[in-house]
Each structure stands twice: as C-alpha cells, then as structure tokens.
Structure 1
Amino acid sequence: MARLLLADDDIELCQLLSEYLGNEGFGIELAHDGASAAKLILNQEFDLMVLDVMLPNLNGFEVLKEVRKESQIPILMLTARGDEIDRIVGLELGADDYIGKPCNPRELTARIRSILRRTENIYQAKNKKLESIHIADVYINPAAREVLQDNATVKLTATEFDILYLLMSQAGQLVDRDQLSESCLGRKLEPYDRSIDMHISNLRRKLGTDDKGDERIKTVRGVGYQYVALDS
C-alpha cells in the first residue's frame, strides 16, 4: 500500500480526498499547516506528498524548499486553477507535477498513480534491463536511478530523471514535447502547459554547460528538445 501525505488547510476537502483515496487503496496521513507537513515528510516514510500552495505557518513553496534540501520524494502540487505563476514556481522548486484546485478526485488519483508508477520498486526493477548511458562527463544509471556529472552525484526528482534518460537515450535526435509529457508525466500535454519546459530548465541548471560552454539540451522552438550527442 502506497502511503501518501496530504497537506492542505481545507479540513473538509482533506476528509473528502482522504476517504476517496483510502477507498482507492492508499494509506493517507493528513497535515493542515506547512510546518507539520515538512516535519512529517522528513521524519516518516511516505511514497508521495500532495502539497497545497496555500498553507499556514509555512506555505507550500517554503515546504517544498525545505523538503528538497533533504529528499527527492515525489511531490504533486495543488495550485489555484489557472494560476500559471504558482505552477511555474512549484516546478522550478522541484515539484514533479501539479493539478489545479478544485480538483476532481478521479483525476487526482490518476496523477498520483502516474507518478508512483515511475518511482515504485517494480518500475525500478524493470529499469535494470535498460542500459546505462555515458555521454561526455554525464553518466546515467537507470538501475540505481543515479546521475553523475564529473563523477559527482546530481540530485534529480523522479520526473527530471525520466526526462533526462529519455533524452540521453535518443541523443542527437529531436524528442517532441508531447512524447516527453506522455512518457515522463503520464499525461497528454495540455494547452499552454509549461511543465516539460520547466523540468528541462531545472535539468540545465543542475547539469550546467558542457566543456565548451554550450547547453547540453537544445531547444527546437515550438517542437521539443534534443540532447547533444558527443563522444564519451
């Protein structure tokens, strides 16, 4: 049973979602303020956190910053529907995905399952059949879900890892945004959806440029992205 932390100060909504998700087979713990959410997620074992932006004590962004200092646990942000700024900020800070409030419990469940499929042990076991990739100073090992750059560990979220592996496995080829979204987010790309773009931005920041000062991931404007193919 996957164990989830649901952090939202709307007690009635939490009870509704907790009952629904419980019936879907998840174990649910609730937190109604940011400080409690940060303490719980860093001191207990969870598989995923659903995190609302608007929380007392510490807001969702502050909780996300604190968690990402120590943990890469999958985080699904709850944002006000149509609030593009909150979505962008959440992704910049390391959220794996977002969903607008008010949300349909069935859609929320689908998003949670999609994220968990990429991070659970069964998925990792399947990845042992995939080959490691070494391009220039970047090494990615799918079995251990490990990325090294100049032999130093690069901390990536589950989504960032999946995007990087897909791009590196097709180095030198264009991978369109629709394919990246369906393969790595588990959903079709929505109109004006910048999720993939923000994850790519995070990857560029974490990996840095190559020894020539060039970006490792090129943008093909309006279409998708390409990892630059170099000799190992």
Structure 2
Amino acid sequence: MSTILVVDDEKEIVDLVEIYLKSEGFSIEKAYDGNRALELMDQKEIDLLILDVMMPGMNGLEVCQRVRYKRKLPIIMLSAKSEDVDKIMGLGMGADDYVTKPFHPLELIARVKSQLNRFAQLTGDLGEDNNEVSIRGLYMDSRSHKATVFEREVELTPTEFDILFLLTTHAGKVFSAEEIFHKVWKEKYLDSNNTVMVHIRKIREKIEENARKPKFIKTVWGVGYVVEK
C-alpha cells in the first residue's frame, strides 16, 4: 500500500483528495503547512507527495526544493494559477507533474497512479541487459537509480532520471518532445506543453559542464532531442 502525503492549507481540498485516494486503497498523511509537511517527510515512509504551491509561510516551491535535497520520490504540485511561469518554477524545483486548480479528483488519481507506476518501473528490475548504460563518461543504473558523470554522482528527480535513461538507452535516436512525453508520462501531449523542455533544461544544468553548449543531450532543431553515441 503506497502512502501519499497531501499538503494544502485548504482543509476542504485535503479532505476531498483523501476520500478519493483512500477509495483507491492508498494510505494518506495530511499536512496544512510546509513545516508540518517536512516533519512528516522525516517521520514517515512517504511514497508520493501532493503539494500545493501557494501556502502561507513556507510555500510549496520551497518545500519541494527541501524534499529534493533528501528524497527521491514523485512530487505532484497543485496550483490555482495556470501561467506557464508557475509551472516552470515548480518543475524547476524538482516536481514531476503539475495539476491546476480547480481539478477533477479522478484526474489527480490518474496522475498519482501514473507517477507511482513510473517510479516503480525505474526502481524495479528491468532485466540484466537494460539495467545499466554508459556513454562517454555518463553512467546510469536503473536498479539503484544512480547517475554519474565522470564518476561524479548526479542527483536527478525520478522524472529527470526517466527522461535521461530513455535517451541514453536509445543513443543516436532523436526523440521529439511529444514522443518523450508519451513514453515518460504516458499521456496525450498538447502542443502548448513545455514540460519536456523544462526537464531537459534542468537535466543539462546537472550533467553538462556548460548547459548552453551541451555535450550529452543535443537539440536537433525542429525535431527533438538526442544523446549521441
């Protein structure tokens, strides 16, 4: 049974999400502010975090960033704002997905299941031939969720790891943003969706010496992204 921590200063939203998630068999922990959320993260075995952006005191973006320093788990951000800049900020802090309020509870449940399934696949056994990949100093191991660049360990979020592992295990193949989104999120891609671009940028910041002149993840303009062999 997966345990999900729901964090929002609006108690009605937390209670509604709890009802739907419990009906799907999930165990729920609740917090109404950032400080309490961090306490529960230290005290409990949390498998996924649902986190509101706009909260009094410590906001969700700061909580997300602090959690990312310590834990590798899926994080879904909630926000009443729909502007791209807010989504980019959330993803930039390490979130894996983003749901805009008001949302349908069933949509949120679908996102939760998708993130948990992806994370389970990342940390599960994929077979001896597919667990490890090494290209020009970049090494990845899906069993330990470990990534290193010239033996320097790189801290990647589950989604960042998933994208980079996809590209490195298919080195030389150009993937469009739509293909990456479909394979990683397993959802329909929208033309206005810049989620993949944001994640690629964050990955480059972590693995490249110069993110503006990437050596690993190359952009094929008008087509997509590729890790060259």
Shorter-chain-normalised TM-score: which range? over 0.9
Report the counterpart of residue 98 of structure 2 in structure 1. 98
Instruction: Give the C-alpha shift of residue 123 in structure 1.
Output: 5.5
* Equivalent in the alignment of 2:53: 53
The Cα shift of 1:143 comes to 2.0
Residue in 1 that maps onto 2:152: 152
Q: 1:127 aligns to what SS in structure 2?
A: coil
The alpha-carbon deviation at position 206 of structure 1 amounts to 0.4
RMSD in angstroms over aligned alpha carbons?
Answer: 1.6
Match of 1:63 in 2: 63
8 Å contact 1:204–1:215 — kept in the other structure? no
- Structure 1 residue 64 displacement after superposition: 1.1
The Cα shift of 1:222 comes to 3.7
Per mean C-alpha deviation after superposition, the further-off stretch among 59-68 and 72-81 is 72-81
2:125 corresponds in structure 1 to 126
Partner of 1:225: helix, strand, or coil?
A: strand
Question: Deviations 1:44-72 (Å, cap 9, x if unpaired)?
Answer: 21000000001122001111121112112
Q: Distance in 2 between matches of 1:123 and 1:65?
A: 21
- Alpha-carbon distance in structure 1 between the residues aligned to 2:194 and 2:110: 20
Letter in 1 for 2:226: Q
* Shift in CA distance, 216/33, structure 1 to aligned 2, threshold 3 Å: same
The residue correspondences of 1:218-229 to structure 2 (distance < 5 A) are 218-229=218-229
**What is the 5 A alignment of 1:1-232?**
1-120=1-120, 124-129=123-128, 130-209=130-209, 214-229=214-229
Task: Return closer, same or farther for 1:86/1:18 CA change in 2, 3 Å cut-off.
Answer: same
Give the fraction of aligned pairs with identical amino acids, expressed as a percent.
37
In the alignment, structure 2 segments of 5+ residues that lack a partner are none
- Kindly indicate whether the alpha-carbon contact (under 8 Å) linking 1:73 and 1:157 is maintained by their aligned counterparts in 2: yes
Question: 2:34 touches 2:59 (CA, 8 Å); kept in 1?
Answer: yes
Secondary structure of the corresponding residue to residue 118 of structure 1: helix
Alpha-carbon separation, structure 1, partners of 2:189 and 2:66: 29
Distance 1:219 1:170 in 2: 15
Q: Secondary structure at the match of 1:4?
A: strand
Query: Shift in Å at residue 26 of structure 1?
Result: 0.7
Give deviations 1:87-132, integer Å, cap 9, x for gaps: 0001111101111111111110110111100122x66333244141
CA distance in 1, matches of 2:197, 2:104: 25
Q: Give the whole-Å Cα distance in 1 for the aligned partners of 2:38 and 2:222.
A: 38
Gaps of at least 5 residues in structure 1 are none
DSSP-derived class of the 2:198 partner: helix
TM-superposed deviation, 1:214: 4.0
CA drift at 1:81: 4.7
Given that 1:42 and 1:71 are in contact with CA atoms closer than 8 Å, whether structure 2 keeps it comes out as no
Q: CA deviation at 1:42?
A: 3.0
Shift of residue 78, structure 1, vs aligned partner: 0.6
Q: Are the equivalent residues in 2 in contact too, given 1:146–1:153 (CA < 8 A)?
A: yes
TM-score (norm 2): 0.93
Answer whether contact 2:146 2:153 (CA < 8 A) is retained.
Answer: yes
| CA distance in 2: counterparts of 1:116 and 1:131, whole angstroms | 19
